Amino acid sequence: MSGKKNSRQDAEQQLAALQHQLVLLQQAMSRQQRGAVVVLEGPDAAGKGGIIRRLGWCLDPRWLHVWPTNAPNEPERTQHWLQRFWQRVPQQGHWAVFDRSWYGRVLVERVEQLATPEVWLRAYDQINAFEQTLQQEGFVLVKIWLDISAETQLKRFTERYQDPAKQWKLTAEDIRNRARWEDYVLARDEMFTRTSTRHAPWQLIDANDKDQARLAVFQLLQQEFSKNLSMTPPLLPAAVTTFFAGTSPHSDASDHNA
C-alpha cells in the first residue's frame, strides 16, 4: 500500500511540474496569437473529466474554453452538422478543449443508427477537411483517444455506483453503450484508419492507470504546443526597466515618493 501511495505522490509531483510548463506555454502562445484545439475522446469512464479538471486548475481561464459535446439541440439539428463546432473554435491565442467532439458522427451516431451509412461515411472526408482548415489557419490540433479495457470500465462504473457522491455520473446511456462495446471498437478502428492523417494523427493513450494517463496527456500537450514556439519573454517597456534600474533590493515605495 505504501508503494502505491509513493507512486501516486511521484505522479502528482511530475504532473505539477508539467502543469507549470503548460502555463508558460499558454502564455507564450497567447503572446504569439497561436490557438489550440484539443480533442478528448474515449469510452465512458476513460478519464476525460479528470484530465480537463487538471488543465483547468493550472491554466488561465481567460484563454481556456472547455466544450462538453452532447446530442445536438433542436436549432442545431437544422444547421450543417459541423456548424456548432465551428462556432466553438477559439480565437487565436486561446485554447479550446472538446470533451467529445465532431467524432460523435462516426462513433455514437453510427453505432446507435442515428445517422445513415451514407451520412456517416461521407463525414470522414468532411472531418479531415475541417481539421485541415484549422491547421492551415495556424491552430495546433491535438487528437487524443483515452483507451481503457472493458474490465477497467466495469470497475470504474462499479466504483461510481457504490459512491453516493459519484452516482450522478452514471447514466442509462453509459449502460446502453457498454452493451455495444464491440460495435464501438469496430467504429473506433475505422475512425483511426480514415481520420488519422499525417498532419492530424490520433494519439492513443493507455488510460487504464489514471495517474499515468494524465502524465502522458500533459507530456503530449507540452510536446505538441512547444513546436516552433518561441519561449523568449517579450522585452519590458523602457519605463519599467528604468524604474527598477534605480531601485535597490532594500528600498520601498516611500523612497520613490520622497
What pLDDT is attached to residue 247?
66
Say if residue 172 is exposed, middle or buried (CB neighbours under 10 Å; 0-12, 13-18, 19+).
Answer: exposed
DSSP track, 65-106: EEEE--S--HHHHTS-TTHHHHTTPPPTT-EEEEES-GGGGG
3-state secondary structure of 145: strand
Q: How many residues would you count in the chain?
A: 258
**For the domain 2-248, what is the CATH superfamily, name and number?**
P-loop containing nucleotide triphosphate hydrolases (3.40.50.300)
- Candidates 46, 16, 24, 38; CA nearest to 203 is 38
Measured CA angle at 198 (ends 197, 203), to 5 deg: 70
For the chain, strand residue ranges (E) read 36-41, 64-68, 95-99, 140-147, 202-206
Q: Are the C-beta atoms of residues 95 and 26 closer than 8 Å to each other?
A: yes
Q: Are the C-beta atoms of residues 94 and 32 closer than 8 Å to each other?
A: no
Cell numbers of 192, please?
Answer: 483511426
Residues ≥6 apart with Cβ < 8 Å to 153: 43, 44, 45, 46, 178
What pLDDT is attached to residue 7?
83
What pLDDT is attached to residue 258?
43
pLDDT (tens place) for every residue of the chain, 258 residues total: 566 666 888 999 999 999 999 999 999 999 999 999 999 999 999 999 999 999 999 999 999 999 999 999 999 999 999 999 999 999 999 999 999 999 999 999 999 999 999 999 999 999 999 999 999 999 999 999 999 999 999 999 999 999 999 999 999 989 999 999 999 999 999 999 999 999 999 999 999 999 999 999 999 999 999 999 999 888 888 888 888 887 655 545 444 444
C-alpha to C-alpha distances, 87 to 52, 67, 82, 123, 247, nearest whole angstrom: 20, 11, 9, 18, 49
